[in-house]
Amino acid sequence: MPFTNADWLPTFEELEVPEIGLSSAPLRAGAHHFGKYCDNQCKEFMLCYSEEKDPRKCVKEGKEVTRCGMEFFQKIKNSCAEQFTQYWKCIDQSGYDMHFRRCRSTQAEFDKCVFENLGQERPNLGYFSKVRVHHTQRPKPSTEVKLPEPIPDLPKYDPNKPLPDSTKLGQRSFMN
């Protein structure tokens, strides 16, 4: 997509946000609880992204998802660090696909700790696949469609006007 000088781009200061400094195994281990903990923020971001079709307009919502993720993993670190570490290390060492099936015992310990300290149960299977209505305070974006100029009307047909010579020759289906 080409840009022109008229296009607005956010500044580096607007894009600056602290990153969640975790690798794939801890993110995968905490994904179910993180998704439920930050459900509203994630839905707000995805609603903005799907309605606006322009990621530049959703920077604020993206920052809110990152802030919520930082808050969630900080709470996990403060209350369930040992169980979480055992769980993500098990997932990391479970194979190239990091499957959960080999780590159900450490998962149960981690889920129990999250429930006791954060009061959040692990979401049921299919929780994120269910259709759920999200209510937002964000105004619906306006969709202005710039229409092309209308085509001018064809000239009126005058039966008394003589036909041009080209129409008298008929159809030319082959050339000699």
| pLDDT given for residue 134 in this prediction | 87
* 176 residues of the chain, pLDDT tens digit each: 577 777 788 888 888 888 999 999 999 999 999 999 999 999 999 999 999 888 888 999 999 999 999 999 999 999 999 999 999 999 999 989 998 899 999 999 999 999 999 999 999 989 888 888 888 888 888 878 888 898 888 888 888 887 777 666 666 565 55
How far apart (Å, rounded) are the C-alpha atoms in residues 4 and 27?
A: 38
pTM: 0.74
- Our CA dihedral for 30, 54, 127, 18, rounded to 10 degrees, sits at 20
3-state helix, strand, coil in the chain (%, to 5): 55, 0, 45
How far, CA to CA in Å, does 136 sit from each of 43, 62, 90, 114? 9, 15, 38, 28
Q: Are 26 and 80 in contact (CB under 8 A)?
A: no
Q: Using CA of residue 80, residue 82, residue 85, residue 91, what is the dihedral sign?
A: negative
| pLDDT given for residue 95 in this prediction | 87
How far apart (Å, rounded) are the C-alpha atoms in residues 42 and 25?
A: 20
How far apart (Å, rounded) are the C-alpha atoms in residues 34 and 128?
A: 12
